[in-house]
Amino acid sequence: MQIQTKNRIGLESKLAFKEFVLGVTSDPGNILQNWSNSSSVHVCNWTGITCNEKGDSVLELDLSGASLRGSISPAIARLSRLTVLDLSRNFFEGSIPREVGYLSELKQLSLSSNLLRGKIPSELGFFQGLEYLDLGSNNLGGDIPVSLFCNGTSSLEYVDISNNSLSGSIPLNGECDIKELRYLLLWSNKLTGQVPRALSNSSKLKWLDFENNFLEGELPFEIVKNLSKLQFVYLSYNRFSSSLEPFFLALSNSPGLQELELAGNRLFGKIPDTIRNLPGTLVQLHLDDNQISGGIPPSILNLLNLTLLNLSSNSLNGSIPKELCHMEKLERLYLSDNILSGDIPPCFGNVSKLGLLDLSKNRLSNLIPDTFSNVSQLRKLLLNNNKLVGTIPTSLSRCVNLETLDISHNQLSGSIPSDFARLSTLKMYLNISNNQLNGSLPPELSKMNMVLAMDLSSNNFSGAIPTQLGSCIALELLNLSGNALEGSLPDSIGKLPFLVNFDVSRNILSGKIPESFQKSSTLKHLNFSFNNFSGNVSFSVFDIDSFLGNPGLCSSSIAALPMCKSSHRKRSIHLPVLLPVLVIATFLMSLIPVFLKSKSKNKFSKIFSQKIGYEEDEENESEEHNYPKISHQELVEATNGFNGSSLIGAGQFGQVYKGILKDNTKIAVKVISYAKSAKISESFNRECEVLKNTRHRNLIRIITICSRPDFKALVLPLMQNGSLEDHLYPSDHGLSHLDLVQMVRILSDVAEGLVYLHHYAPVKEVEKNMEADGSPSVSSTDGLLCGSIGYIAPEYGMGRRASTQGDVYSFGVLLLEMVTRKRPTDVVFNDGSSLHEWVKSHYPHNLEPIIKEALVNYTPVSSTMSCNTKLLHDMVQELIELGLICTQYNPSTRPTMLDVAHEMATWKEYLSSPSSLLT
């Protein structure tokens, strides 16, 4: 009888699942493959299915993150005993079937991160025991049905309907029983009205996120005063209009509060002294982009655990209170765009963890303190657009981690100290423009060989431009305009390999414009105007606006400049020489990518390269290296005769097939092309040996090998989740299948693997056996970091041997690719530029479009993180900066993978901590 019951219920479930499968139009991971073999596999053993202990009822259906496409079948309602339905992180379209609401025993429903549209069915309010509801990150619209909250049940603990297009008011009233509610996330919708008073009944609420809506009225102090369990409150970017004092007093009843975001509203009045009553557990406070006035109260000192304080873009006045210096855990302080005056407190030098200080766009005066050199973690110092006077303190040269310094638009005087010019740690941006600085430009500026942008414009500098500036090989922007510089223009600057923007206008420079500028392939913005240059110029991409006010210039290619005498004869002489040179150069350039790919792949294959003897007998070779025995015939059977349907990838030296051995082990077989095999058998054997000895959780392990005179293959575990490219560039050209947190975790894991290979694996032995001629070695890394055009380090084109610095460069390109979702070989870079040059051209002032696109392009992150838009914004910006630092032209200026892995691990750890609050 029991068997008959099992069969009957199993058949009913199968019919429901069969209709569900009919609604699925794409299953790229073959997740539902065993659903099709229904005759041989019991329902309870299907992927994503969990049954009760007796096996006679389906309790859970979890197909999250399976990349399924199609629509959700109403037949799902036939699974009447279902308690968990999780179809999140797929690509389901259409509307939510109202029949889902008839699953009376459902406890958890998650349909988030799909492409669902239409209204939320009111039938979803039929659930009597639902605890967890997540419909976030879809295209749902219309009003939120009242029944969702007011259905006579009090079981709801978690509700996330964020990141949709829902409108209307929040439908909570006195009849709603939501006393068990702990998480309410409605961010990024079009909700209007006020925060309903009924929410005050949710005394267990921990997480409240209404960010990015059109809510109005006063800050809901009458509500939050009853919510003693609050830990995270996000009300930024709405239309709240009120003072802060009653709200701060109300929050004093929430002793566990950790993050408070009220940015982008219409808040007015002063920051009240009652800020001292905010819980001491607070770690982040955002009050930026409001209409707050008055001074910063010293009572803010009570918030000793703050790591981030953002008061920027308000109307704050008065001096900066010294009490801020006693907040020892402060890491980021934003006070920009206010009306603050007085001195910069020297005691900031005591805030040892301070990494970012933004005091720009105020009315601060007097000297720049000498004490910043004591802040060892300081990475960004922004003091621009104030009224600072005095000289540039030499002590800034001791800020060992400083990457960005902007002291422009002040009243600084004197010369650039030679010690300051040795600030070689600057990696991003130096701006000292629009001051009253004078004297000559010190040659020591050449020590800043990692800085990407340098703006010295609108000062009183005189003398010659040092030729040593040509050593700042990472420069993308150099602005020397508006000074009194004289003499000739150094040829070395025109040879800077990444220079995109160059401006020397409004100086007293003379002589000819060096040919290196005319030959530069990277320059996009150029200004030589209002100097005393003379001679012939033949720029093809710049017009008269770049050469105004130089009466001695002539040209046959730039309109509005006078023609040069005898220019025709010079062209006729040079053309026969130039044409063959161009032809030869073009031919050589066509060969370089092939050579570089081979050489770079040889480097990356250090990991897998160690000389071993060659054995013609595959059985003997397996025994010699303690691999499991496997024959060529077994591989043929496992891959259906290396059929095209089993092909999952191809590289320069062979193809990769998926297969299944007789013991059901899923494998990937990398078959080396026979034409290449004879040339690389020794490298193949080296790779096998080191693959066997390499042990790291982020590196693939070899299962076995198969080697005969006419056939060579590596057998590796099959990575069933597909390639990174599949997830980064889905076939529908839609959002990435990854979210930003997953992206950071992947990059951190890759960095860890490279650290192992660079510092802990038996690499020295491998390097010792590298072939000097750079002959290609077989590598299971075909198509990874260093093996493809666009990822290779530029020094490989100059004959340098492969190095760990080259791997850092390749990692940097991968990082920039993942952030921008632009392949290094995209058509946008066909003008000769590269991905890192394109990103550099936007740094530092035009990064915002790239950051916003990254935040939009990726699958929205979990609600626990996406609520903190400021954190995600800063994370993307810092990842871009790390990518630019890794891809610097000079290998010696790049960080080690140990440094990079540390940075990535810090973000990975930080991003993982908020999710733990949900447990």
Q: Which of 783, 706, 535 is nearest to 547 (CA)?
A: 535
**What is the Cα–Cα distance from 659 to 82, expressed in whole angstroms?**
35
Count the Cβ atoms, other than its own, within 10 Å of residue 621: 22
Per-residue buried b or exposed e for 387-422, using 16+ beta carbons within 10 Å of the residue's own CB? ebeeebbbbbbbbeebbbbbbbbbebeebbbebbbb
CB 494 within 8 A of CB 467: no
For the chain, how many residues are written?
919
DSSP 17-43: HHHHHHTEEE-TT-TTHHHH-TTTS-G
3-state secondary structure of 168: strand
Query: 103 is written with which tokens?
Result: 């699953």
- Yes or no: say if 211 and 236 are a contact pair by the CB < 8 Å rule: yes
Tokens linked to 7: 């069969």
> CA torsion, points 737, 743, 745, 747, in degrees to nearest 10?
130
52: Cβ–Cβ under 8 A, 6 or more apart, which residues? 59, 81
**Which residues are paired to 463 by β-bridges?**
485
> Do 157 and 180 contact (CB within 8 A), yes or no?
yes
Contact between 664 and 671 under an 8 Å Cβ cutoff? The reply is no
Between CA 809 and CA 603 the distance in angstroms is 13
Give the torsion through C-alpha atoms of 356, 361, 366, 372, to 10 deg: 10
670 annotated ligand-binding residue: yes
Work out the number of other CB atoms within 10 angstroms of the CB of residue 200.
17
The pair phi, psi for residue 80, each rounded to 5°, is: -65, -20
Distance CA 220, CA 217 (A): 8
**3-state SS string over 697-717?**
CCCCCCCEEEEECCEEEEEEE
644 by Cβ neighbours in 10 Å (0-12 / 13-18 / 19+) ranks as exposed
d(CA 473, CA 479): 15
- Per the annotation, binding residues are 670
- Per the annotation, binding residues for ATP are 670
